[in-house]
């Protein structure tokens, strides 16, 4: 029987590319995000290949997370794969000048949001005695950089949560894969710089950045590995990147 995946942050970037890649390998999709028009468009685009449904919620809103995942009909409840992808950086600057609303958005979204969604889905996987959770961390969770400490801390938390989940859930047949991408050209920098296009474009200037589909390919590899294999951690850097802040630009 075809598997079912729930993907958070499916409206853009890595989440959207993962949905497209999963559709190619016949995985049915629960597409989640905060922009219904984009969810509808993606569902329409993929519906010729696989079954799709959409859920509109903000991962920071624990009531909404529980209510929306709880509202899934029986045909969608047997979730085989959860991709905890929703997240963003908000702002970039020194801690003493930091905007506390930006900090809340990053900690609440990237960390607590991932926890709320996981808490809603782990019981369903435990009941099945199987499942696969893919957490999208970042190279920023492994290497801290100046002016990004809160985002880095939120992604370091994802790294630790992946470890904790693996320790708790492996015995129940649930695999955990932690994916740490480097510089991927998505809407990430546009969000980080609050819509400033020229600042966002500069992030990807002078080198060939990762594309969202590169990350999606690795996620497909992880979820398609045989039962005897757990892909625990994947770090993917751009070809011109040797560390979080070291990119060789032309
Ligand atoms: P995008 O900005 O393109 O996509 C972010 C996605 O997350 C959108 O679909 C957005 O959907 C969703 N999202 C953000 N906040 C919330 C929220 N509070 N509730 C629900 N959904 C939310 O960026 P990316 O695709 O690059 O980012 C995806 C993940 O990859 C993030 O966790 C990011 O930290 C991580 N990452 C990105 C890297 C990069 O260089 N781009 C590198 C390493 C990791 P909507 O607005 O519709 O809710
Ligand atoms: C996004 C990658 O290095 O800009 O997580 O923080 S980085």
Q: For ligand 1, atom 32, name the residue with the nearest CA.
A: 87
Q: Which domains does the chain have, with CATH numbers?
A: 4-247 (3.40.50.720)
Handedness of CA 73, 77, 82, 88 (dihedral sign): positive
Q: Name the pTM for this structure.
A: 0.99
Give catalytic residue positions. 151
Mean pLDDT of 78-88: 98
Rounded to the nearest whole angstrom, what is the distance from the C-alpha of residue 9 to the centroid of ligand 1?
6
Structure-block tokens of residue 35? 């922009």
pLDDT band at 230 (very low <50, low <70, confident <90, very high): very high
pLDDT per residue as tens digits for the range 28-82: 999 999 999 999 999 999 999 999 999 999 999 999 999 999 999 999 999 999 9
The closest-lying atom of ligand 1 relative to the alpha carbon of residue 89 is: 34
Dmax (CA) of the chain: 53
Long-range contacts of 69-78 (CB under 8 A, 24+ apart): 69/6, 69/117, 69/120, 69/121, 70/120, 72/30, 76/4, 76/30, 77/124, 78/4, 78/124, 78/128
């Amino acid at each position: 029987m075809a598997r079912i995946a729930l993907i958070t942050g499916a409206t853009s970037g890595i989440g959207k590319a993962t949905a497209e890649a999963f559709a190619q390998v016949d995985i049915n999709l629960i597409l989640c995000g905060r922009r219904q028009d984009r969810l509808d468009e993606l569902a329409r685009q993929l519906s010729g290949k696989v079954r799709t449904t959409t859920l509109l919620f903000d991962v920071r809103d624990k009531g909404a997370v529980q209510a929306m995942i709880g509202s899934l009909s029986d045909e969608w409840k047997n979730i085989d794969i959860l991709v905890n992808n929703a997240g963003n950086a908000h702002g970039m600057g020194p801690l003493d000048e930091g905007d506390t609303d930006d900090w809340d958005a990053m900690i609440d979204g990237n960390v607590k949001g991932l926890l709320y969604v996981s808490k809603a889905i782990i019981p369903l996987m435990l009941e099945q005695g199987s499942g696969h959770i893919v957490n999208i961390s970042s190279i920023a969770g492994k290497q801290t950089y100046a002016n990004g400490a809160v985002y880095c801390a939120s992604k370091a938390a994802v790294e630790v949560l992946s470890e904790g989940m693996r320790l708790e859930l492996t015995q129940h047949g649930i695999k955990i894969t932690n994916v740490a991408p480097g510089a991927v050209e998505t809407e990430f920098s546009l969000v980080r710089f609050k819509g400033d296009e020229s600042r966002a474009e500069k992030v990807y200037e002078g080198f060939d950045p990762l594309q969202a589909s590169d990350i999606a390919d690795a996620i497909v590899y992880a979820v398609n590995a045989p039962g005897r294999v757990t892909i625990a951690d994947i770090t993917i850097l751009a070809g011109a990147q040797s560390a979080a802040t070291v990119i060789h630009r032309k």
